[in-house]
Chains A and B, each alone.
Chain A
């Protein structure tokens, strides 16, 4: 065996050139330096994290209280942490791309073409799979069991595995910054460009395996949430008594179960093309790239609704709570959600109107696409009517909800334009499309996630977020959005192709300069979210809400302490209508001790999730670099803990009734001793989480 083959056996394709630092050393131009800086940030960030954990002696608590925990609340919070980290990276990338385009009118700019292509590929991949998906999965995880009166999700261990697979995929994308490179094929990864002929390097492989880990995790999450919502509702919680967020979570989960397999298959077949010379999507020997496009968008369009529906759920909760009214048209909202879910499977072809099908086929899918506007319109009117004659308070989550209504309608209108095939033929592949999908996803997903984060934060951590910084963040996110994306509509109509690294039309420049201002405002929005978090943690003593109902809200999650006990409910509640907690307060029956407390059985912590996630990520890394021994070892490492776990019988822990009773009575005593606050003072320090009953019920 010669040296080369030994090196390949040990390290696969990995060599010094894989490291951006080496590349920047050999070829120190600004583009490589930016790449090296980004890689260095990953390395330094990881080292700093290790140092912090060691210095503060947080390793043990990190594993004991968080990583091995099967508590749906902690898993939900960890999902949102992942989303926050990945959002930061992808937003910085967006700013870099905007900077490049605003500088690169008849000039080279700062980022080389190859590098620019990686930027838009990672930006899209991260924003969809590692920001949006973890964020909404985190919120669903945290909120749904509490809202339906359950102690946990249906399969707590599977939940932990899902989280860790997602984390593994996210780490793989981060590692690609410091080792190797990422795909240049965009977030949708169309072959044959992502095939072996055009991209023989590791880029598309990183993309494939990161997506695969994430989509497996998402499939399991979908199964878990559906089983939870169908089977774990508390007595009396009929489907039509569920808060609307649960409806949207249910619909999103069903979509996950049906829509993730096409993606898993598309990436798996692309991997077969790349690794074993199959011919699914190649140009020659009978490959057919249209199969990929159909598979990808068979996932991709329902995915849009996977992303948007939970945000719709958040808006429904937020608007109802901050208008102090029952949700207007509850049944129509639930029905509209399900109709959107069904229709989402009938429109995938509008993503490629220009790719050769007949006009009749295009017309069918164009009409189907426009049909979705009907249930969505129903929802918009329902939210507006919910506010009508309500006692509306303009808190930060409510402001985001209002910005959503206006902005999303605009984005929906440009969607109607794009749904008309002749118009799509003119503007397809321009930044008009980029403007459109940011115009629906930023209000339709991100604003909702931020609103949900601010709305439920006091429930999760026991203190409120700073209202002032919430408003500042709102100002930046909304003004930033309009300045960054409205110019893209103009540029798109002016014919500017999307994903352009260099531009040759001086007339574009003013619009691009407006857009970069918007991008910086959006970055300021992100920074103000972090400042808000920091300020709120610092001043937490002045904003504690131990009783747990700071917004005089209506559903069951507000009927327990903040933060809730591990088992959520000392006794499983019994409900008989929508908004059960509101009516309990109305009848002055809230905050009563149970007649009798029972012991509660909860799942013990488990190492299976972290081990599976780690082994999954290592296996993917081995596949990317063709390090076969590592791949095989890690693949065994994925399954070994799962099989071993099936032999373990001591998986539960019993919390004695006395402890449950003591905790519950302590909280009830606290509620007794707390002064209720009226709604208009809910953002003041006086708000300890006990709402003063409102004298008269406003008719719905």
Chain B
């Protein structure tokens, strides 16, 4: 490996950065560990979902309720939002001004909100079909797993809004940059979880 020593896993700001490298390394390291703990939460939700797949108790099951179309659109939206967050990170690292960063963050935010809109519409359809969580163990597991991801995305959206305000009010000081790096990890993490949801929940539910 050539080039400067990486301080932490993920995108390093390095030379463009006025914060102490050790501080950035520490903060991001802690955030990685937090994500690991969060990942365990999702892993267990997936495990519960797996055990409850057949526990439909006469209520609507996966084949009847899951629509691959909207789920695919949601996947595309969320993957694109990861790309746009990546572009925001690159703007954070290389751009002099804040314009690029703010623009890409806004695009990411919009995509996140559109994703949530599609997801809520899915839930609304399911509810109108009578597929509510109090009907069966399977629907309980579904409505624990997928909305937990949705809540994370909502939290991420609020976080983006807070960061946009901070960029406007405080400029790009060391702590704003550090928080943007953490937010980036969080956003890409949600993307990975969604890929698992798309595969395990929607693909498995509609294709089998």
Task: Give the residues in chain B near A155, CB-CB below 8 Å.
Answer: 27, 30
Q: Is the CB of B140 within 8 A of A223?
A: no
Q: Is the CB of B134 within 8 A of A262?
A: no
Task: Give the residues in chain A near B27, CB-CB below 8 Å.
Answer: 155
Contact with A along B167-186 (1 / 0, CB 8 A): 00110010100010000000
Q: How far is the CA of A232 from the CA of B29 in the complex (A)?
A: 12
A227 proximal to B (CB < 8 A)? yes
Of B26, B34, B140, which is within 8 A of A280 by CB? Answer: B140
Contact with A along B49-87 (1 / 0, CB 8 A): 001100111010000000000000000000000000000
Nearest-neighbor residue (CB-CB) of A155 within chain B: B30
**Are A231 and B26 CB-contacts (below 8 A) given A276-B134, A286-B55?**
yes
Of A47-55, A83-91, A641-649, the one with at least 4 CB within 8 A of chain B: A641-649
A269 proximal to B (CB < 8 A)? yes
Q: How far is the CA of A265 from the CA of B48 in the complex (A)?
A: 10
Q: Is the CB of A647 within 8 A of B44?
A: no
Q: Is the CB of A154 within 8 A of B51?
A: no
Of A129-137, A203-211, A253-261, A658-666, the one with at least 4 CB within 8 A of chain B: A253-261
Interface of B, helix, strand, loop or mixed by DSSP: helix
**Are A288 and B175 CB-contacts (below 8 A) given A155-B30, A226-B33, A276-B133?**
no
Interface residues of A in 621-657 (CB under 8 A from B): 643, 646-647, 649
Q: Is the CB of B170 within 8 A of A649?
A: yes
**Are A295 and B144 CB-contacts (below 8 A) given A226-B33, A279-B134, A286-B137?**
no
Task: Give the residues in chain A near B57, CB-CB below 8 Å.
Answer: 279, 284-286
Q: How far is the CA of A607 from the CA of B41 in the complex (A)?
A: 29
Q: Is the CB of A231 within 8 A of B144?
A: no
A680 proximal to B (CB < 8 A)? no
Task: Give the residues in chain B near A288, CB-CB below 8 Å.
Answer: 51-52, 55, 137
Q: Which of A226, A232, A279, A647 has the most CB of B within 10 A?
A: A279
Min CB distance, B171 to chain A, in Å?
11
Q: Is the CB of B135 within 8 A of A285?
A: yes
Q: Is the CB of A219 within 8 A of B37?
A: yes
B114 proximal to A (CB < 8 A)? no
Q: Is the CB of B30 within 8 A of A227?
A: yes
Task: Give the residues in chain B near A643, CB-CB below 8 Å.
Answer: 162
Task: Give the residues in chain A near B137, CB-CB below 8 Å.
Answer: 279-280, 285-288
Of B29, B30, B140, which is within 8 A of A278 by CB? Answer: B140
B113 proximal to A (CB < 8 A)? no
Interface residues of A in 272-301 (CB under 8 A from B): 272-273, 276-280, 284-288, 291, 295, 298
Nearest-neighbor residue (CB-CB) of B40 within chain A: A261
B203 proximal to A (CB < 8 A)? no
**Are A272 and B144 CB-contacts (below 8 A) given A265-B41, A278-B133, A287-B137?**
yes
Nearest-neighbor residue (CB-CB) of B162 within chain A: A643
Task: Give the residues in chain B near A276, CB-CB below 8 Å.
Answer: 133-134
Q: How far is the CA of A217 from the CA of B168 in the complex (A)?
A: 32
A25 proximal to B (CB < 8 A)? no
Nearest-neighbor residue (CB-CB) of A272 within chain B: B144
Task: Give the residues in chain A near B143, CB-CB below 8 Å.
Answer: 278
**Are A280 and B134 CB-contacts (below 8 A) given A219-B37, A224-B30?**
no
Task: Give the residues in chain B near A295, CB-CB below 8 Å.
Answer: 44, 48
Q: How far is the CA of A155 from the CA of B27 in the complex (A)?
A: 8
**Are A280 and B36 CB-contacts (below 8 A) given A231-B29, A291-B48, A647-B169?**
no
Min CB distance, A162 to chain B, in Å?
13
Contact with A along B134-154 (1 / 0, CB 8 A): 111111110110000000000
Task: Give the residues in chain A near B22, CB-CB below 8 Å.
Answer: 231
Q: Is the CB of A277 within 8 A of B133?
A: yes
B45 proximal to A (CB < 8 A)? yes
Task: Give the residues in chain B near A285, CB-CB below 8 Å.
Answer: 55, 57, 59, 134-137
Task: Give the residues in chain B near A647, CB-CB below 8 Å.
Answer: 166, 169-170
Q: How far is the CA of A223 from the CA of B32 in the complex (A)?
A: 9
Q: How far is the CA of A230 from the CA of B9 in the complex (A)?
A: 15
Q: Is the CB of A277 within 8 A of B134?
A: yes
Q: How far is the CA of A231 from the CA of B55 in the complex (A)?
A: 46
Q: Is the CB of A154 within 8 A of B26?
A: yes
B193 proximal to A (CB < 8 A)? no
B25 proximal to A (CB < 8 A)? yes
**Are A227 and B29 CB-contacts (below 8 A) given A285-B137, A291-B51?**
yes
Q: Is the CB of A269 within 8 A of B48?
A: yes
Q: Which of A155, A222, A265, A643 has the most CB of B within 10 A?
A: A265
Q: Which of B40, B139, B166, B173 has the most CB of A within 10 A?
A: B40
A264 proximal to B (CB < 8 A)? yes
Q: How far is the CA of A286 from the CA of B58 in the complex (A)?
A: 9
Nearest-neighbor residue (CB-CB) of A257 within chain B: B37
Nearest-neighbor residue (CB-CB) of A154 within chain B: B26
Q: How far is the CA of A223 from the CA of B41 in the complex (A)?
A: 15
Task: Give the residues in chain B near A265, CB-CB below 8 Å.
Answer: 41, 44-45, 48
Q: How far is the CA of A687 from the CA of B67 in the complex (A)?
A: 77
Task: Give the residues in chain A near B30, CB-CB below 8 Å.
Answer: 154-155, 158, 223-224, 227
Q: Is the CB of B138 within 8 A of A286?
A: yes
Of B136, B140, B162, which is within 8 A of A646 by CB? Answer: B162
**Are A272 and B140 CB-contacts (below 8 A) given A227-B29, A227-B30, A646-B179?**
yes
Q: How far is the CA of A654 from the CA of B59 in the complex (A)?
A: 64
Q: How far is the CA of A273 from the CA of B41 in the complex (A)?
A: 18
Min CB distance, B58 to chain A, in Å?
8
Min CB distance, B53 to chain A, in Å?
10
Q: Is the CB of B37 within 8 A of A279?
A: no
Q: How far is the CA of A91 from the CA of B93 in the complex (A)?
A: 57
Min CB distance, B51 to chain A, in Å?
6
Q: Is the CB of B44 within 8 A of A231?
A: no
Q: Is the CB of A286 within 8 A of B56?
A: yes
Q: Is the CB of B34 within 8 A of A223?
A: yes
Nearest-neighbor residue (CB-CB) of A642 within chain B: B162
Q: How far is the CA of A286 from the CA of B136 in the complex (A)?
A: 6
Min CB distance, B30 to chain A, in Å?
4
Of A230, A257, A287, which is within 8 A of B29 by CB? Answer: A230
Nearest-neighbor residue (CB-CB) of B155 within chain A: A639
Task: Give the residues in chain A near B136, CB-CB below 8 Å.
Answer: 279, 285-286
Q: Is the CB of B29 within 8 A of A649?
A: no
**Are A257 and B33 CB-contacts (below 8 A) given A154-B26, A265-B45, A291-B51?**
yes
Q: Which of B137, B138, B162 has the most CB of A within 10 A?
A: B137
Min CB distance, B49 to chain A, in Å?
10
Name 25 interchain pairs, CB-CB below 8 A, sorted by A.
A154-B30, A230-B29, A231-B22, A231-B26, A231-B29, A258-B37, A258-B40, A262-B40, A264-B41, A265-B45, A269-B144, A273-B140, A276-B134, A278-B144, A279-B55, A285-B135, A285-B137, A286-B57, A286-B136, A286-B140, A287-B55, A295-B44, A643-B162, A646-B179, A649-B170
Chain A interface (Cβ < 8 Å from any Cβ of B): 154-155, 158, 219, 222-224, 226-227, 230-232, 257-258, 260-262, 264-265, 269, 272-273, 276-280, 284-288, 291, 295, 298, 643, 646-647, 649
The 7 closest A-B pairs by CB, nearest first: A286-B137, A286-B55, A277-B134, A278-B140, A286-B57, A261-B40, A285-B57
Chain B interface (Cβ < 8 Å from any Cβ of A): 22, 25-27, 29-30, 33-34, 36-38, 40-41, 44-45, 48, 51-52, 55-57, 59, 133-141, 143-144, 162, 166, 169-170, 173, 175, 179
Given contacts A261-B40, A646-B166, 5 further A-B contacts (CB under 8 A): A223-B30, A276-B133, A280-B144, A286-B138, A647-B170
